[in-house]
Amino acid sequence: MTNKDQLQNYINGEWRRSGSGKSLNVTNPANAELLTQVPLSPGDEVEQAARAAAAAAREWRSVPVTERVQYLFKLKNLLEADLKEMARTITNECGKTYAESLGELRRGIENVEVACGAPILMQGYNNEDIARGIDEHMFRQPLGVVAAITPFNFPGMIPLWFLPYAIAFGNCFILKPSEKVPMTSARLFELLDQTGLPPGVVQLVHGAKETVDALLDHPAVRAISFVGSTPVAKYVYSRATASGKRAQCQGGAKNAILILPDADMQMTATVTAESAFGCAGQRCLAASVAITVGEARRSFTEAIAEAAASRQVGCGLDAGVEMGPVITAESKARIEGLIERGRRQGAKVLVDGRGKQVKGYEQGNFLFPTVLQNVEPGGEIARTEIFGPVLSMMHAESIEQAIEMVNSSRYGNMACLFTSSGAAARKFRHQVAAGNVGINVGVAAPMAFFPFSGWKESFFGDLHGQGRHAAEFYTETKVVVERWPS
């Protein structure tokens, strides 16, 4: 599937070289080494993929679900066997630490496992005698061809939020992975190839905007799953739904953590540092804002400053490293620019991660953990998704005021509370306007059998990814009213 120069697409059960002539370099964010090139596939290659998927879908929907999931059992075993190699690939192209890469693959594999429950997940329901001698049944049937467009920050996990469910429920699938991290998907498709799936059930088409647009406009593609930044999520949602498709589009985030004075401060600082700086802050569930309430300010500030300053930064494959680089040099410059703007707007740079190098990796996109204090609520830094290892601190006098600050955000991906009070926790989870909520937890990532529940501008659509929502999203209901006169 790869040679050192260029990745290939996987269409109708075979690897095909893109004829586009346009490609991008894929580089290692830790040392700028050229890893491979990714083609920018044009519309006619999306057309080939959609045609192959549509042809395969006619047969695949009739393969018994118990047989369809056998391919996923094989995929699970292949992923387990390839775990270490795949984790190295993720670290090489994405920059996160090897342990973080293993962690995201684990979460991806959990989705394969949950999708193996498709025989139950896609069951319908029925009633006998809705009128005398008449029965009514609801069946779930696959949509046909569905596609997913994924971001750079979880190259192993996010394609697996969608692919296993889509095919288990009888659909054929097209993946357009991030052009920044295409190698992990290429490896995933090598493994899918080894499962013996019939040709056309899964397709991989590399590319960027032009490739996405061709998927959004293609009449055979019935549903789009998207994960990425909010402006693109909005765009994908409008264009996909305008052409009558189902769409579930997960967008950006600005997640807040509230710290009450009765929290276990050492644990809170450790967990918050992991949330804010893990994966170099490039997680849609990263803590971006910490709001201390009342007396919590002093003790939390000291503890988080220490946790930030002591975090080991370096190449994700090296022993002892706790945080890798950010994805690109442009990303690093953008984040540094935001830190500087925050400073000019009155924030204090309590821990400054700028201007530091990692020995032996001078070409890497390294930015060390940064903590901004006294960030203005409602100001630019409080509102903007930074998507880097920067924690902005704000202060509130009461939990009510802090919840209001959280709820004023245009995003609603995650909000967390640290406390030892059950009453405060109950108030928080009831009132906070976010779809994924953590209580004494810093990354409230839903397991594969719960929906990934972003709200507000963190999500456009109705049905989220994973679990039972995936069964709803990837099937349509057919109701049959039946009478058999005797």
Q: Which residues here bind ligand NAD, judged by CB under 6 A?
A: 149-154, 176, 178-179, 208-209, 212, 227-229, 232, 235, 250-253, 284, 385, 387, 413, 452, 454, 458
249 is catalytic: no
3-state secondary structure the chain: CECCCCECEEECCEEECCCCCCEEEEECCCCCCEEEEEECCCHHHHHHHHHHHHHHHHHHCCCCHHHHHHHHHHHHHHHHHHHHHHHHHHHHHHCCCHHHHHHHHHHHHHHHHHHCCHHHHCCCEEEEEEECCEEEEEEEEECCEEEEECCCCCCCCHHHHCHHHHHHCCCEEEEECCCCCHHHHHHHHHHHHHCCCCCCCEEECCCCHHHHHHHHHCCCEEEEEEECCHHHHHHHHHHHHHCCCEEEEECCCCEEEEECCCCCHHHHHHHHHHHHHHHHHCCCCCEEEEEEECCHHHHHHHHHHHHHHCCCECCCCCCCCCECCCCCHHHHHHHHHHHHHHHHCCCEEEECCCCCCCCCCCCCCCCCCEEEECCCCCCHHHHCCCCCCEEEEEEECCHHHHHHHHHCCCEECEEEEECCCHHHHHHHHHHCCCCEEEECCCCCCCCCCCCCCCEECCEECCCCCCHHHHHHHCEEEEEEEEECCC
Q: How far is the CB of 337 from ligand NAD (least distance, A)?
A: 16
At closest approach, how far in Å is the CB of 371 from ligand NAD?
20
Identity of the residue, 196 or 337, whose beta carbon is nearer to ligand NAD in the bound complex:
337
| Closest to ligand NAD by CB, 89 or 153 | 153
Which sign, positive or negative, has the C-alpha torsion 243, 248, 254, 260? positive
**What tokens were used for 229?**
């930044």
Bridge partners of residue 142, in order along the sequence: 475
**Long-range contacts of residues 228-235, Cβ cutoff 8 Å, at least 24 apart:** 228/149, 228/150, 228/151, 228/178, 229/151, 229/385, 230/385, 230/411, 230/457, 230/458, 233/459, 233/460, 234/457, 234/460
Token pair in block for residue 63: 């393969």
Least distance from ligand NAD to the Cβ atom of residue 416, Å: 16
Give the whole-angstrom CA distance, residue 163 versus residue 118: 13
Please enumerate in sequence order all residues whose Cβ is within 8 A of that of 44, keeping only pairs 6 or more positions apart, or say none. none
Catalytic residue chosen out of the listed positions 94, 284, 315, 416: 284
Give the CB-nearest residue to ligand NAD: 228
Report the distance separating Cα 371 and Cα 348, nearest Å.
8
Phi, psi of 217 (to 5 degrees): -95, -10
Query: Catalytic residue numbers?
Result: 284
